[in-house]
Structure 1
């Protein structure tokens, strides 16, 4: 077999095994150093990393980000009373203390903080003398009945009912916009620390039998995700235990089982250490990467151990068996891992920070596996060898019945390399493809559920969010269109007219609760200045009167130089259909009308950012898959130098991708930041099976064996390892279904499906496609009696 390998491979093999001790010594030092770095890696999250980095809409938002502080990354703390209403001395005292405590939380934009107890929240009314007003909390407030009655009157006049005060008057909101950096440290805002402070300093402190504290907002979602994602360590440990038990049952060799697991875990530790050196942390969306690195490491480790045991069975000692196993699997392993690594880097085409960091982390992990599982593992086995139990498992010491059963099963699976099983497999594949094409057309981009779909529907956060939606008129999902004008002209009659027209168009879109802007303020001002006569409720052509009507515009509805007016669109939810409808309506309005000096820019607000993210993902989804498959096809073509072989490897992967999309559509899982990478990662792991199988098929075909005999040889050499790793990894990742984080449960379900389908496709569809493409058809060594073939091979 060595004569068929290139000289470069012989040189690598000779260098490795001639310098085994030195290589292990160097690797030990490197692993120890990376382990110390891995300990320092921390969970992290950033609002800016979870939105597209360079998109027209995002650039529009960034241009006015400081002027839209309370419409972006905000936290809402809802203080609810269980007894009576908010107009009691005890409740107002609690609300005041909560406002003060939120004010002093690091990262809160204190200038933009809003509550009934902040001076920026004011009331106003129309009297015979004109407008009068003041702070909602009266000067000299002392908690007396008269002051509480005055407070109640001011709240009614403030327009904050349904905004900062619940419609049922049983709760009030403290609205806290956040900064991207902690002003005390200068470091990016630590969302986990912020979430802990909100829990400890606010919820735990004030939540009791009479007061309920509810907290919603992007930062709280991320904090809950980080807390839940930390629990993934439990699932990782469970996966390790399951893999250990199944690998031990498979190999019956304790030492090789431990070695495979140790080096797979070392790959994870090294990957985390390198990430820390590069200045990256682990965010909730990349928590799956360590498991994938472990899974890929186990997959390749099992192939190496199986190869070593096969050579031990033929009489080789531990040193030569390790060398021969490395020699026979080196090319296939390198091809598979390089395909994985480069395939994962194709996620970089998606201009979203967390996905790009996931791509970097996965690529680094796969690169480390080349060292840990293709280099270090065979070297260690060359020292310690395989146990007696492991050798007995694969030699004649096994019972005749077991051997016969194994041969019968191998022969049955090998039947997919010739008719009629090949035809059956191809027909089933075509039917599944048609089914996948039908259901995948219903696949949606973005969130399909209200609240925070990343969390369970019965999570504390989603219950809090449901309370806000039910008891407040203004939604927490705000889409902002920015009306840009030349400086000092944003409130001219013509410009306000165009703004008002857009508001009317958008207000009639399904899913829109309300639309507000300075145009509403001007109408109300005209109404108030004219003794409350309804005939004056409208825009006025007299600019002096318009100027007077907007003189009391609340902060945030006009920027400082009057060159931008935010149009606030309050939505029922941030589902994909709702966001698409709003974007389409605004774009249609811009295309239909020439709005003169007003330019309507999309988009800001949490719902606006979500809409942009969905658009980027939709555009990048197809491009990502094209890149993933292009890379895998190119590397397989370079390795096998056969178009037919590449087709046989790639088509089962494509079927898996198609059926995965159909499954997502059927289960109501949208394509978003959390789920999009799974599709690419599934392709990267799945291609390993096909590469290992075809490397052995080609080895047998080169000896003039028939396709059937060649595939049977591949099954005996590597097929069992493929089946074992597919089932083991599927069982391990299936435990994620019980995660408190819904998107982790979704990813676990999708990965389980893809692991099993990739394994089944590799074992059944690859030989069927090879038969269809007449791979090995020129070899005429097939046995006349198929029942004898297992023993003969």
Structure 2
């Protein structure tokens, strides 16, 4: 069967090389077409792609975001270095930013709130009645007397003092919400930062946070990301040239990577997808896979030439024939592992999965076909490009690997591997789903964004928000004492969580109006005794106000309201605790006239993402492992093979997960694709070593000799590829985006573990346990190889 299969593959590649000019022209034309399409792929972040589909929290956010505030809110803090904010120069800056925000693209002008806006009001009682009027609009205070009145009004209003003016009076907050579907992060970021830059200085510090600003920073570093990408590719080429000392060993792997990238990006345009700048590291990893397959073929080609192949064409056919099975197995396994990510119902992950699958399958053409075809053009007897020869170093390393595997030292290696697996597997349970640290994990802790977030959370209740909808069963439910009292109790219950800095709802507004009616006596700061009184208090608050002023608290029919919670961070554990507390309160405090609905705002959306990721992580990893097992079982016609190849995957996964837990890298929407791809990555090198052992056993039944030979031939390709990719991927550690630097480290770790397993652990297991699908058995003996003449 083996000889029959080899014969078919040999004939196919012989035909391709006989017609190599036409093959090259066809691939060139297709690449040119796909290149044109690829040039029109947009690189951007679309917030809706980050939202899970058909999740109840997201449905609540989408339904009520225009009323109670969405997940794209920006918070701007103006803080003075000396004195307080009650100075004309400071308040003028507050007013200028507030007015300027109305001109920012995609901003919801009804959701711009500051002490200089019409939205923040005070309720005053006089002999003429009760009126609600803006606290500082449209004019700034004139003179010390008016400034003193403003200051007193702020201090006496708990809806302003604390939420919008800091307790030490040194800072004030401006918030603005954006329309999710229309926002252009880059444009909004530039406009916001222009306002911030203009206001900053003269004893005033301006801090700004929010998703539009965060993704604006990501887009701001896009040029740097692309530069690092090409620098990594350039370093890869230099290292390959240094190690291989040949042009074909340098240019052809790069050509394979470029063709795969162009075809994948062209396919992305055909599918109507864009490329998110945060996943460019994943793109580099898949490109590296194309390069890796090409390097294996070139390494085998050089061996064929060294062993006296009759021509470069004959050597190219032989290398393609002998490495076809492990190469195809690696491609199919990698593609299957990436494809299962699409089962996680988040559009961004689905798009990454589809693009990645096409990208990996394109390696079949870019590396498995084009590399042997292009090798046939080269002269197999050409000289070296430079005199530096590090091949003896590589051979010494591989001899060391063989010595470890074929002596009793192999038991030490296997023992240490087992201990490492158990320890790392235990520690991996500390891996957190969601963000693992305060601030944004996308940027470094000392970035201006994360420093701004720390400062805003220090002065105010919290920059991250979640609203819980109180959905009434009929109109006017928000005026019922039972409902309002439940909201007040719910707020106190949630504020007991340390990460919740505060909350606000209609239940906070009405007691303040009632107190004003009683000459400011705090004893009367209570809710109305019945729905009628609460209705009157609401009317007094909104009298003379603009449409939409009450939207933050309740809708026009008073049927639905919201409790808005302010969080000091959005770590995964913080969000899970908050959601659990909401669910606990709702279960213990049912209402007849309304229900609580989770959840909107940024924290509500992140809660949905984390829940989907938690389920998706387990599902994706389990299915990726199943894909791997099925591929190996079918290829080698042995269930033992499926279990055998899981060993390096499980080891690389537990070590990587434990590293993520130790280094504070959470499992989130950005890391999940790398994890799924890492399952395939963790075993690719082993495919080549195992197939090298099996191939040698077809010529000689000595297992020890087969392992040594496989390590010296296929092992060289593994070593060259691993050294090249680990070194080049290290350049991502210089990225201004922490996420990319972390992903670079994870990829490097995966590559190292995969190479170490392939060169030490798996050959040692073969030597000790002699699995039948590799070394044969009495029932399935190893078939003797024939040596047919290659005709090209």
* Aligned with residue 308 of structure 2, among 315, 326, 334: 315
Structure 2: distance between partners of 1:686 and 1:66: 46
Q: Match for residue 437 of structure 1?
A: 425
Structure 2: distance between partners of 1:441 and 1:606: 27
1:170 Cα deviation after fit: 3.6
| 2:241 paired with 1:231 | no
Structure 2: distance between partners of 1:353 and 1:168: 44
**CA offsets 1:415-444 (integer angstroms, 9 cap, x no match):** 455562332222112101111122112221
* Aligned with residue 513 of structure 1, among 501, 513, 527: 501
| 2:457 paired with 1:469 | yes
Secondary structure of the structure 2 residue equivalent to 1:422: helix
Q: Match for residue 720 of structure 2?
A: 724
Q: Match for residue 470 of structure 2?
A: 483
Distance 1:260-1:741 versus aligned 2 partners, 3 A rule:
same
Secondary structure of the structure 2 residue equivalent to 1:514: strand
Q: What is the correspondence of 1:27-426 to structure 2 with a 5 Å cutoff?
A: 27-69=27-69, 71-82=70-81, 84-127=83-126, 131-137=130-136, 143-156=142-155, 159-182=159-182, 189-199=183-193, 201-316=194-309, 317-386=311-380, 388-389=382-383, 409-415=397-403, 417-418=405-406, 420-426=408-414
Structure 2: distance between partners of 1:765 and 1:687: 12
Q: Relative to structure 2, which stretch is displaced further, 10-19 or 340-349? A: 10-19
| Contact kept in structure 2, 1:76 and 1:173, CA below 8 Å | yes
**CA offsets 1:689-729 (integer angstroms, 9 cap, x no match):** 11112222221223342222222221222111101211221
Structure 2: distance between partners of 1:148 and 1:79: 18
Q: Relative to structure 2, which stretch is displaced further, 700-709 or 80-89? A: 80-89
| Contact kept in structure 2, 1:244 and 1:257, CA below 8 Å | yes
Distance 1:408-1:198 versus aligned 2 partners, 3 A rule:
closer
1:217 Cα deviation after fit: 0.5
Alpha-carbon RMSD across the aligned residues, in angstroms, is 2.7
* Aligned with residue 427 of structure 1, among 411, 415, 439: 415
Q: Match for residue 783 of structure 1?
A: none
Secondary structure of the structure 1 residue equivalent to 2:503: strand
Secondary structure of the structure 2 residue equivalent to 1:513: strand
Secondary structure of the structure 1 residue equivalent to 2:482: helix
Distance 1:98-1:531 versus aligned 2 partners, 3 A rule:
closer
| 2:656 paired with 1:660 | yes
1:80 Cα deviation after fit: 3.7
**CA offsets 1:175-226 (integer angstroms, 9 cap, x no match):** 22101244xxxxxx22122212222x31333333444332211111111122
Distance 1:38-1:208 versus aligned 2 partners, 3 A rule:
farther
Distance 1:540-1:140 versus aligned 2 partners, 3 A rule:
closer
Q: Match for residue 454 of structure 1?
A: 442
**CA offsets 1:604-650 (integer angstroms, 9 cap, x no match):** 12122222222211111111111111111111222122233333322
Structure 2: distance between partners of 1:634 and 1:272: 29
1:139 Cα deviation after fit: 5.7
Q: Match for residue 742 of structure 1?
A: 738
Secondary structure of the structure 1 residue equivalent to 2:45: coil
| Contact kept in structure 2, 1:256 and 1:381, CA below 8 Å | no
Distance 1:638-1:390 versus aligned 2 partners, 3 A rule:
farther
Q: Match for residue 572 of structure 2?
A: 576
Secondary structure of the structure 2 residue equivalent to 1:565: strand
Structure 1: distance between partners of 2:239 and 2:156: 69
**CA offsets 1:540-595 (integer angstroms, 9 cap, x no match):** 43222121223326431002222221112222322222222211111122333332
| 2:538 paired with 1:542 | no
1:291 Cα deviation after fit: 0.8
Q: Which runs of 5+ in 2 are unaligned?
A: 543-549, 779-792
| Contact kept in structure 2, 1:524 and 1:549, CA below 8 Å | no
* Aligned with residue 770 of structure 2, among 766, 769, 774: 774
Q: Match for residue 621 of structure 2?
A: 625
Structure 2: distance between partners of 1:80 and 1:95: 10
Structure 2: distance between partners of 1:392 and 1:164: 67
Distance 1:118-1:585 versus aligned 2 partners, 3 A rule:
same
| 2:511 paired with 1:523 | yes
| 2:690 paired with 1:694 | yes
| Contact kept in structure 2, 1:263 and 1:373, CA below 8 Å | yes
Secondary structure of the structure 1 residue equivalent to 2:666: coil
| 2:24 paired with 1:24 | yes
Distance 1:769-1:119 versus aligned 2 partners, 3 A rule:
same
| Contact kept in structure 2, 1:300 and 1:374, CA below 8 Å | yes
Distance 1:534-1:99 versus aligned 2 partners, 3 A rule:
closer
Structure 2: distance between partners of 1:261 and 1:524: 69
Q: Relative to structure 2, which stretch is displaced further, 359-368 or 546-555? A: 546-555
Q: Which runs of 5+ in 1 are unaligned?
A: 183-188, 781-793
Structure 2: distance between partners of 1:149 and 1:538: 28
Secondary structure of the structure 2 residue equivalent to 1:109: strand
Structure 1: distance between partners of 2:125 and 2:588: 39
| Contact kept in structure 2, 1:487 and 1:563, CA below 8 Å | yes
Distance 1:373-1:414 versus aligned 2 partners, 3 A rule:
same
| Contact kept in structure 2, 1:653 and 1:683, CA below 8 Å | yes
* Aligned with residue 758 of structure 2, among 732, 755, 762: 762
1:144 Cα deviation after fit: 4.4
Secondary structure of the structure 2 residue equivalent to 1:123: strand
| Contact kept in structure 2, 1:137 and 1:154, CA below 8 Å | no
Q: Relative to structure 2, which stretch is displaced further, 449-458 or 657-666? A: 449-458
**CA offsets 1:750-780 (integer angstroms, 9 cap, x no match):** 1111110111011111112223432366689
